[in-house]
């Protein structure tokens, strides 16, 4: 199989040796510019760029190779798992008689229902369960798929329902036939349970953004157990959940964050034009010199770290064209633009949601060498990457970004009353973002606002009630980023063995609580002993009492 294939009957200029030119439609390839070639990846942005770009020929040749390489990296780095499910031939048609008669479903076992009969839907493709109220009679009907004319939004909570009014009769029947038999699907997201801001949060619910924005039933919150339940077969791959995940626990399988970082470097000194790949074929617009498309699968997954990465690696304003802006993307764009307007007096991300807007912003977009910054953040999480990149351009105090109006993207910090803090490190144990850390080398508690998700869980968990969370303000000053010492104490040494085992404040706190309670002198002494010596002390006392009894 050929890696890169360019299929065409003619081309006005030569291609690099890494790309095989062919007019033979029987060729097979990993990546192709044409649907006429059997390829693992169809890359519509290649022909889109060749057709519309005003770059000089040599630049075009160079950029075409880049577009193949970008696709190659995404293909190699995607974190998909492939799944299969057997789908039967039972179909429910929901609509009136005239609508149903337009369909040709000879290969299926077909049932019919009027829209007003449908009372409830559960299940998913291959096992859809409809509750039907037909003239007062309640019927439970199990089918594999459904066609629903003018389907309500609720219909799309389940995978396996198509609307001919939305995509046409021909396309609807084509989808049904394609899905029948062995239905293949994949996971569009990956999940890191260790940094999830919902999982295990029993004291206070601090997140759940992903389930809130999921348009289907692909992500459900199990509140009793504080766990997320994923159904990959119900996921439509939009990526909206990724854009609102505060910690980066969710990542987009097609373009993981590390991969996005890598491909962003291909856009150095060009103006990136981000395009959902399913919109490209229908788009007809001229690209001024130095504009290079970046096709994305799943138009809703971009967050503030993605945008900041591409802006800095390209050294340019970026153009984002989409007809389905997610809530997370909107807040991310607003955040990045607010930052760049404070620092550089111009926007970093130019948004267009129709062709007229796209023409306008493409004309305005410009290279911005002052944006240039690059890093190599191996294995860094979403928040760490964002903090590393943002802190590099905040060289003085630029004020505060107020995020109070945000629903999903939050940045803030905490304040700690150091006099009350006993350094019990309870806050550290519940901070899975890594913002709060214990430092035994100097008996200190440190905090990094740059990676804090502003969840407030430390405030709830603090036994001394000495933590205050400052919500929804991103401070653009150098002091905001990096670890700060919030509280520090001297070690307390075991009165028996001399080993340090706690801080002076924590022992003083325990003593103030237990000394008035304890009447036994051994128990009072044990307060000041390490665990090993405490056991020895109690056991020795026990033996002595036994001997005295004899």
pLDDT in tens, 289-347: 999 999 999 889 999 999 999 999 999 999 999 998 999 999 999 999 999 999 999 99
Per-residue pLDDT reduced to its tens digit, 439-463:
988 889 999 999 999 999 999 999 9
- Beta carbons within 8 Å of 236's beta carbon, 6+ residues apart: 156, 159, 215, 216, 218
Residue 116 has a pLDDT of: 93
Sign of CA dihedral 45, 49, 51, 52: positive
Confidence band of 541 (pLDDT split at 50, 70, 90): confident
The whole-angstrom separation of Cα 79 and Cα 163 is: 31
Q: What dihedral angle (degrees, nearest 10) is formed by the CA atoms of 32, 166, 351, 48?
A: 20
- pLDDT at residue 80 tops 70: yes
Residue 4 has a pLDDT of: 95
Determine contact, residues 450/390, Cβ cutoff 8 Å: yes
Residue 156 has a pLDDT of: 79
- pLDDT at residue 27 tops 70: yes
The whole-angstrom separation of Cα 384 and Cα 390 is: 10
Alpha-helical regions (H) of 34-124? 44-52, 57-77, 97-101
Residue 403 has a pLDDT of: 96
Structure tokens at 63: 């950029």
Provide the percentage of residues in the chain whose pLDDT is more than 70: 99
Q: Mean pLDDT throughout 152-159?
A: 83
- pLDDT at residue 73 tops 80: yes
Sign of CA dihedral 540, 541, 546, 547: positive
Determine contact, residues 350/271, Cβ cutoff 8 Å: no
Confidence band of 410 (pLDDT split at 50, 70, 90): very high
The whole-angstrom separation of Cα 120 and Cα 154 is: 9
Per-residue pLDDT reduced to its tens digit, 268-296:
999 999 999 999 999 999 999 999 999 99
Q: Which helix (H) or strand (E) holds 118?
A: strand 118-124
Residue 92 has a pLDDT of: 95
What value does the mean pLDDT of the chain take?
Answer: 93
Residue 550 has a pLDDT of: 66
Rounded to 5 degrees, what are φ and ψ at 517? -90, -45
Per-residue pLDDT reduced to its tens digit, 365-409:
999 999 999 988 667 899 999 999 999 999 999 999 999 999 999
Strand-strand pairing, 38-42 and 127-134: unpaired
Percentage helix, strand, coil for the chain under 3-state DSSP, each rounded to 5:
35, 25, 40
Per-residue pLDDT reduced to its tens digit, 414-448:
999 999 998 989 999 999 999 999 998 888 999 99
Which of 495, 477, 486 has the alpha carbon at shortest distance from 532?
495
Residue 76 has a pLDDT of: 95
The whole-angstrom separation of Cα 119 and Cα 155 is: 11
Confidence band of 1 (pLDDT split at 50, 70, 90): confident
The whole-angstrom separation of Cα 112 and Cα 91 is: 9
- pLDDT at residue 549 tops 80: no
Determine contact, residues 499/530, Cβ cutoff 8 Å: yes
């Amino acid at each position: 199989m050929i890696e890169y294939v360019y299929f065409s009957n003619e081309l006005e200029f030569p291609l690099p040796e890494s790309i095989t030119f062919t007019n033979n439609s029987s060729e097979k390839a990993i990546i192709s510019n044409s649907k006429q070639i059997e390829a693992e990846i169809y890359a519509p942005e290649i022909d889109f760029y060749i057709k519309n770009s005003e770059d000089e020929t040599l630049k075009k040749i160079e950029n075409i190779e880049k577009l193949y390489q970008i696709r190659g990296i995404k293909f190699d780095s995607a974190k998909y798992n492939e799944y299969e499910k057997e789908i039967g031939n039972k179909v429910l048609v929901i609509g009136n008689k005239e609508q149903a008669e337009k369909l040709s479903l000879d290969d299926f076992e077909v049932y019919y229902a009027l829209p007003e009969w449908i009372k409830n839907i559960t299940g998913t493709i291959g096992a859809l369960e409809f509750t039907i109220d037909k003239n007062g009679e309640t019927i439970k009907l199990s089918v594999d798929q459904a066609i629903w004319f003018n389907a309500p939004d609720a219909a799309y909570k389940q995978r396996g329902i198509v609307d001919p009014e939305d995509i046409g009769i021909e396309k609807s029947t084509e989808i049904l036939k394609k899905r029948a038999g062995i239905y293949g699907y994949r996971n569009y997201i990956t999940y890191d349970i260790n940094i999830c801001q919902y999982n295990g949060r029993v004291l206070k619910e601090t997140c759940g953004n992903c389930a809130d924005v999921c348009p289907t039933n692909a992500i459900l919150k199990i509140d009793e157990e504080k766990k997320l339940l994923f159904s990959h077969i119900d996921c439509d791959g939009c990526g909206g959940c990724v854009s609102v995940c505060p910690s980066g626990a969710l990542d987009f399988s097609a373009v993981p964050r590390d991969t996005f970082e890598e491909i962003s470097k291909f856009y150095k000194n060009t103006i990136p034009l981000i395009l959902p790949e399913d919109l490209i074929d229908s788009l007809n617009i001229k690209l001024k010199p130095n504009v290079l498309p970046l096709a994305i699968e799943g138009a809703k997954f971009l967050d503030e770290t993605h945008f900041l990465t591409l802006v800095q690696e390209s050294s340019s304003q970026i153009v984002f064209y989409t007809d389905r802006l997610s809530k997370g993307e909107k807040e991310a764009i607003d955040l990045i633009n607010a930052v760049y307007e404070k620092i550089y007096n111009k926007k970093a991300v130019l948004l267009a949601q129709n062709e007229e807007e796209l023409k306008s912003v493409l004309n305005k977009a410009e290279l911005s060498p002052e944006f240039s910054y690059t890093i190599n953040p191996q294995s860094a999480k979403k928040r760490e990457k964002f903090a590393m990149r943002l802190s590099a351009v905040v060289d003085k105090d630029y004020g505060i970004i107020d995020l109070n109006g945000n629903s999903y993207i939050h940045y803030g910090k905490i304040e700690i009353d150091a006099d009350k803090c006993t350094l019990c490190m309870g806050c550290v144990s519940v901070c899975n973002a890594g913002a709060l850390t214990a430092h035994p080398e100097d008996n200190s508690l440190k905090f990094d606002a740059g990676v804090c998700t502003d969840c407030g869980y430390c405030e709830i968990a603090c036994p001394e009630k000495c933590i205050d969370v400052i919500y929804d303000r991103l401070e653009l000053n150098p002091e905001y980023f990096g670890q700060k010492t919030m509280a520090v104490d001297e070690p307390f040494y075991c009165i028996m063995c001399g080993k340090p085992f706690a801080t002076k404040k924590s022992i003083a706190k325990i003593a103030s609580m237990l000394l008035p309670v304890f009447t036994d002198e051994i128990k009072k002494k044990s307060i000041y002993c390490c665990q090993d010596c405490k056991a020895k002390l109690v056991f020795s006392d026990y033996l002595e009492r036994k001997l005295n009894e004899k």
